[in-house]
Amino acid sequence: MSDSDLTKLTLIETIKGLKNKQFSGEELNNTYRERIKQLNPKLNAYLWTAEKSSGIPAAIKDIIITKNIPTTAGSKILEGFIPPYDATVIERLKVKGIGVVGKTNCDEFAMGSSGENSAYGVAKNSWDLSKVPGGSSSGSSAAVASDMCVFALGTDTGGSIRQPASLCGVVGLKPSYGRVSRYGAIAMASSFDQIGPITKTVADARQVLEWISGPDGYDGNCVEEGFRVKGKGYGENLKGLKVGIPKEYFGKGLDQGVEKVVREAIKKLEELGAEIVEVTLPHTEYGIAAYYIIMASEVSSNLAKYDGIRFGGTRDKFGDEAKRRIMLGTFALSSGYYDDYYAKAARVRTLIKEDFAKAFEKCDVIVGPVSPTVAWNLGEKTQDPLTMYLSDAYTIPASLAGIPGLSVPCGFVNNLPVGLQILGKYMDEETILNVGEVYEKATSWHKEKPKI
Amino acid sequence: MKYEPVIGLEVHVELNTKSKMFCRCSADYFGKQPNTHTCPVCLGLPGALPFTNKEAIKKCLQIGLALNCKVVDLSRFERKIYFYPDLPKGYQISQYRWPLCVEGWLEVEDKDGKVSKIKINRVHQEEDTGKLSHIGGVTLIDYNRSTVPLVEIVTEPDFTDPSQVKDYAKKLQQIFRYLGVSSADMERGDMRLEANVSVRPAGQKELPNYRVELKNINSFRFMTAAIEYEIKRQIEALEKGEKLTQETRGWNEAKRDTYLQRSKEEAHDYRYFPEPDISELRVKSDELRIKEEIVELPNRKAKRFVADYGISRQNAQVLVDSKELAGYFEEAIKLGREKQLKPQEIANYIVNQKIKLASKDQVLRAVEDLAGKRVGILEDEVKIEKIVAEVIFENPNSVEDYQKGKLNALQALIGGVMRKTQGKVNVEKVRRILESKLQN
C-alpha cells in the first residue's frame, strides 16, 4: 500500500487494516508524521505535533486539555501551559488505542468562524490556500481534509465543528449538549460547548461518538447514557423518513450556488425514499442576537481565570475578539442590564427550543445549508465582526437548542466544498448519522480529495 | 431624639462533608499541608468543571428546614463574578436569585428574656475560597479550602438589640452541631458572622437608607461589642447632623472600635447569572424525607424536658446545650429511676454542681454519687429549720450582708447548713427556709 493510500483510509478501514496486519501501527504513525511534516508548513493546521506517536493518529483541537502536552486554546495567554491532566475524551480515546498525533490550530478560545482569530497564525483551507478553512475548529478540519490524521476532535459552540467541516469538505458532528463530557474542554460558552468528531466518513463519526460519549462524573450536564451504535439504520434507502426543510434557512444571505447544491442534495434524499416536508423555525432571525448575549456573558466569566497569577500570561495577551466578547458579556450582565439582555436572550433561547420541538412533530430530521457561503478569502471579513457573526446564522439555532447537528459533504461551488446540515431531535444522533450515511453511500462527494 | 437599631445578620457556615462542594478532594483541610487537597477543579484550571456534591445540598436543606424555611420548587447555582487571588475561577459559584430555602424564622431571646421571632430571608449553598496568608512581604495562597461547601443564612433586618444577635448566633451554632452538619467553630472559621447595622428614629417604619456592614469578626463577643459600638457611633453621627452611607467596617479589638474597610463607591457589581455548568436543582421532593430525618432540635428538646420531666426551663436550656449532654441526661434519668431519683433532682445536681457528663461512665458515676448522697437524706422540715436557725445565729455578718442587699451572702449561709448536715439536705429547700427566715 502506498503512503497516500494509507492516509486516505477512513477510521473504520484503518482499524480493519491494523487488525488484519495489512500495516503496522508504527508504519501508520510514521506515514502520518511524514505527511504532517510535508504539508503542515503550508496549512498551519497543527500547533504542536508529536515527535513519537503510537496508536491510531488523531488530531486534537488545541482547546482540549492533553496531559503533558502544551495546550494553548489558540491564545497567547496560555502559551507554554502544560496541563497536568487529560480531558475525559482523551482518556477515553487512549483506552481505545488512539494516540494524539498533534494539537490543532483554532480561533482563540474557539471564538471565530474563520480560524483567523488564532494567535498562532491562520490555518489554510486545503482546497484553496488563499481561503479560510472555517472555524473555530479550523486546524482539525484542515487536518482531516488533507489526510494529516485519521480523524480529529473539535468543539462546537455556535457551529465550530459543522461550519469548518462544511468549508473543508469533511464530516463534522456536533453531538447533543450533554452527550459528551466537556471535562477538559477549555470553556468558551459553557451552556453551548460540545466536543465532537471531525472525520472522513459518517461511519467514522459514529464510531468516535460511541467512544467519547457518556457520563464521567465530572460534567454535571453530561448525564444521559453514552451513544451506542445500534442496528443497521436505514440501510440503502430512506423510506419512511420525514425530512423537514425550514424556509428560514433558505432566505436572504444564502449564496445562490450553495442553495443550488443543497437543494440538489435534498432532491437526492427524496430519491432515496425520504418524504420532504416544509417546516418553520420562526425565531431563527433572533438566534444570533440571543446567542451573542448568552455566549458573551458566559465568556466574560469563563475567561476571568486568566489573570496571570497561577498560569499563563497577563491579560494584554488576549486577542481582539476575546476582548470584544469579554466586554460585551460584562456589559450585558452589569447591574441594571441583566433583565434587558441576559434574561431576554434566555427567553428567546426557550422560544428557539420550542421552534425545534414543534418542527420535529412533523419530521424526523431537519435539513439545510451549514454555511450561507463556501470558504471565503483570508482577510475578507476580519475587519467586520458582524458579517463574520452572520456566517453562523444556520448553525447557531441548533446550538441554542442543544440538539445534534451533522455536516456531510454534498457538492462544490467554484471548486470549494459545500456541507449539508442534518439536525436531529435532542439525543437522537442515531437518526442523523443514519441519514448522513445513506446519503454518503449514494454520493461520492466525500471521496473527493483536495490537491495539495 | 430616640433611635432604635435595625440589624440583620449573615452567617456563613462551612459544612463537614467528606469531599468538597464541586470536586472530590477531601474537605477536611484544616491544619493540612497547603495545596495538598487540590485538583484541576478546585484550582480552577482551564477545562475543569464543577460536579455537585449531593451530600452538601442535603445538609443545606437540613439547615433550611431546621430554620423553618420553605424549600423552593426550582433552585439554581449562579456565578458571582469578582476578582480576588483566592478565587481561582474568577467567580464564586453561589446562589442569588434562586436560593434553595426561603422564608424561615428562629426564636431568639434578648438580655431581658424577651422572646421574638427573627425572620430568615434565605438559606443558600455556595463554595468557599482559597486562603491568603501575608507573610514577610509576600502573599501565599492555599487552595485546600477552595470549594469547600459553605451555606449562607441571611436574616431580615429584624434584630433590635445586640443581645438578640448573640443569642441568634449561639442558637444557630447549636443547631448546626445538633444536625451534625458542621463543627461550627468560630475560631477555625467554620462559622463566620457579618452584621448589617443601621439606626432609625424610634417608631419609624421604613428601613434607613443606608447600612453598615460589619465584616470579618470571629467571635460572638466581638460581634456584640462591634454592634454596640456601631450603634453608638451612628447615633452620635446622626445627632451631629452627619449623613451616613453604605460602607463595610471591621472591628479593632485593641482599640475596641470599628474602622472603615470599603465605602459605597468601591462596592462590587457581581454580575450574577445562572451557572451554565450545573443543571437546575429540583429538590422539593426530598423535603419530606429530609425533614423526617432531622433530629430533635434544642428548642423542642428543652420544651419536652420541661413537659416530660418537670424540670425548670433554665435547667432544660443548660441540659440541651449539646445533643450529647442532653442524651446523657436522659440516660441518667433512666438509671436514676431504679434508685428512686427524680428527674428534677438529677437536673439540679448536674446543673448546680456543674457535673461533667461526657461519657457513659460519668453518667453512671453521677447517678450513683447522687443516690449515695440521698441515703439518709434529711426530709424533716422542723429539723432543718432548727439547723438553719443555728447557722443564722452563728453568722451574724453574713446575715447583715444579706440584709444590706448582698445576695451572695446567702450562699455562705447555705454552705453552713450543708456542712452541718454533711450535704444530706435539699439545697432548694434550705434556700427557701433561709430566705423566709431572713425576711422576717
- For B230-246, what is each residue's pLDDT tens digit? 999 999 999 999 999 99
Distance (Å) from the alpha carbon of A342 to chain B's nearest alpha carbon? 8
CB-CB: which of B81, B276, B277 is closest to A304? B81
pLDDT at position A122 over 90:
yes
Residues of A with a Cβ under 8 Å from any B Cβ are 64-65, 71, 73, 78, 81, 83-85, 87, 182-187, 189-191, 217-221, 223, 297-298, 300-301, 303-305, 307, 309-311, 330, 333-335, 338, 342, 346
Chain A residue closest to B83 (CA)?
A: A304
With beta carbons under 8 A apart, name residues in chain B contacting A191: 276
Lowest mean pLDDT among A29-38, A189-198, B302-311: B302-311
Q: What is the pLDDT of residues B186-211, one digit of tens each?
A: 999 999 999 999 999 998 999 999 99
The secondary structure of residue B346, as a DSSP letter, is H
422576717: which residue's cell? B440
What confidence score (pLDDT) does residue B370 get?
Answer: 78
- Other CB atoms within 10 Å distance of the CB of residue A323: 14
Give me the pLDDT at residue B41, please.
98
Look up residue A183 and give its DSSP letter. Answer: T
pLDDT at residue A234, rounded to an integer:
67
Cα B331 versus chain centre, distance? 25
Residue A330 falls inside a structural domain: yes
- pLDDT-derived band at B104 (thresholds 50, 70, 90) equals very high
A307 contacts on B by Cβ (under 8 Å): 83, 85, 90
Measure A304 CA to nearest chain B CA, in Å. Answer: 5
Percent of chain B scored above 70 by pLDDT?
98
Q: Determine the Cα–Cα distance for residues A191 and A172; give it in Å rounded to an integer.
A: 20
Q: For residue A217, which residues of chain B lie inside 8 Å, CB to CB?
A: 51
Residues of B in contact with A305 (CB under 8 A): 44, 46, 88-90
Taking one residue from A and the other from B, the number of pairs with CB-CB distance under 8 angstroms is 98
Task: List alpha helices for A307-343, DSSP H.
Answer: 320-333
Is the pLDDT confidence value at B373 over 80?
no
- Range(s) of the domain holding residue A63: 3-447
> What nine digits make up the cell of B216?
470579618
A185·B47 Cβ contact <8 A: yes
Say if residue A213 is preceded by a cis peptide, omega within 30 of 0: no
Q: Which grid cell is B329? A: 441526661
Count up the domains in chain A and report the number.
1
Q: Do A71 and B46 touch (CB under 8 A)?
A: yes
Q: Which residues pair with B26 in a beta bridge?
A: B19
Residue B374: per-residue pLDDT: 64
B43 vs A218: CB contact, 8 Å cut-off? Answer: no
- Mutate which of B86, B271, B275, B282 to test chain A, going by most A C-beta atoms within 10 A? B271
Q: Is the pLDDT of residue B339 over 90?
A: no
Report if residue A247 sits inside a domain. Answer: yes
Q: How far is A311 from chain B (nearest CA, A)?
A: 9
- pLDDT at position A205 is 98
Nearest CA to CA, how far is B86 from chain A (Å)? 10
pLDDT range class, residue B376, cuts 50, 70, 90: low
Residue whose C-alpha cell reads 488576549 in the numeric block: A318
Of B40, B90, B272, which is closest to A304 when you measure between CB atoms?
A: B90
Mode of pairing for the β-strands spanning A405-413 and A171-174: antiparallel
**Which residues of A fall within a CB distance of 8 Å from B140?**
none
Which pLDDT score, from 0 to 100, does residue A249 have? Answer: 96
The alpha carbon torsion through A436, A238, A356, A111 (nearest 10 deg) reads 10
A300 vs B contacts (CB less than 8 Å)? 81, 271
Per-residue pLDDT of B18-75, as tens digits, reads 999 999 999 999 999 999 999 999 999 999 999 999 999 999 999 999 999 999 999 9
How near does any CA of chain B get to the CA of A218, in Å?
6
The count of other CB atoms within 10 Å of the CB of residue A189 is: 25
Identify residues of B whose CB sits under 8 angstroms from chain A CBs.
40-41, 43-52, 79, 81, 83, 85, 88-91, 269, 271-274, 276-279
Q: Percentage of residues in chain B with pLDDT exceeding 90?
A: 68
pLDDT in tens, A129-152: 999 999 999 999 999 999 999 999
Backbone φ, ψ for residue B38 (5° rounding) = -135, 160
pLDDT digits (tens, 9 = 90+) for B259-269: 998 887 777 89
d(CA B104, CA B286): 18
Within 13 Å of residue B209, how many CA atoms lie on the same side as its CB? 3
CB contact under 8 A, B83 and A304: yes
Contact B47 A184 (CB under 8 A): yes
How far CA A68 is from CA of A81, A82, B47, in Å, comes to 9, 5, 14
Contact criterion met (CB < 8 Å) for A220 and B43: no
- Name the residue with cell 479560510: A132
Cell of B316: 432544660
- Positions of A annotated as catalytic residues are 61, 136, 160
Would you state the cell numbers that stand for residue A20, as one nine-digit string?
488484519
Residue A452 belongs to a domain: no
CA of B38, closest CA in chain A: separation in Å? 12
Least CB–CB distance from A310: residue in B51, B88, B277: B88
Burial per residue of A383-405, b for 16 or more beta-carbon CB atoms within 10 angstroms, e otherwise: eebeebbebbbbbbbbbbbbbbb
Q: Which of A64, A182, A305 sits opposite B88 (nearest CB)?
A: A305
Cβ contact (<8 Å) for A78 and B46?
Answer: yes
Rounded (10°) angle between helices A429-442 and A256-271? 90
Contacts of B41 in chain A (CB under 8 A): 218
Residues in chain A closer than 8 A to B85 (CB atoms): 307, 309
User: B89 to chain A: nearest residue by CA?
Assistant: A305
Chain B interface, best mutation among A301, A314, A326, by max B CB count within 10 A: A301
Q: Which residues of A touch B46 (CB under 8 A)?
A: 65, 71, 73, 78, 81, 83, 186-187, 305, 311
Distance from CA of B261 to the nearest CA of A (A): 23
Q: Closest residue of B to A333, CA-based? A: B271
**Where do the DSSP E strands lie in B56-187?**
70-71, 78-81, 91-94, 101-109, 115-127, 131-135, 138-142, 149-155
* Residue B404 banded pLDDT, cuts 50, 70, 90: confident
Q: Which of A218, A295, A327, A341 to mutate to test the interface with B (most CBs of B within 10 A)?
A: A218
Residue A209 lies in a domain: yes
Q: pLDDT tier at A247 (50, 70, 90 boundaries)?
A: very high
pLDDT, residue A125, reads: 98
**Read out DSSP for B282-321?**
--GGGHHHHHHHPPPPHHHHHHHHHHHH---HHHHHHHTS
Distance between A171 CA and the closest CA of chain B, angstroms: 25
Torsion of CA A121, A122, A126, A129, to 10 degrees: -90
| Nearest CA-CA distance, residue A74 and chain B, Å | 13
Segment A212-235 mean pLDDT: 86
Q: Which residues of B touch A73 (CB under 8 A)?
A: 46
pLDDT at A48: 98
Q: How far apart are CA A133 and CA A416, in angstroms?
A: 10
CATH of the domain at A303: 3.90.1300.10
* Inter-chain CB proximity B45 and A333 less than 8 Å: no
Mean pLDDT over each residue of chain A, to the nearest integer:
96
Please answer yes or no on whether A190 and B276 come within 8 Å at the CB atom.
Answer: yes
Q: Does residue B403 register a pLDDT over 90?
A: no
**What domains does chain B contain, in order, with CATH numbers?**
3-291 (no CATH), 296-374 (no CATH), 381-439 (1.10.10.410)
Report chain A residues whose CB lies below 8 A from the CB of B278.
220-221
What crossing angle do the helices spanning B427-439 and B396-403 adopt, rounded to 10°?
70
Q: Strand, helix or coil at A208?
A: helix
pLDDT band at B357 (very low <50, low <70, confident <90, very high): confident
Average pLDDT of chain B, as a whole number = 91
Interface probe for B, chosen from A89, A295, A305 (most Cβ of B below 10 Å), is A305
Going by the DSSP 8-state scheme, the letter that residue B242 receives in this structure is P
Cβ contact (<8 Å) for A190 and B45?
A: no
Q: How confident is the model at residue A229 (pLDDT cuts 50, 70, 90)?
A: confident
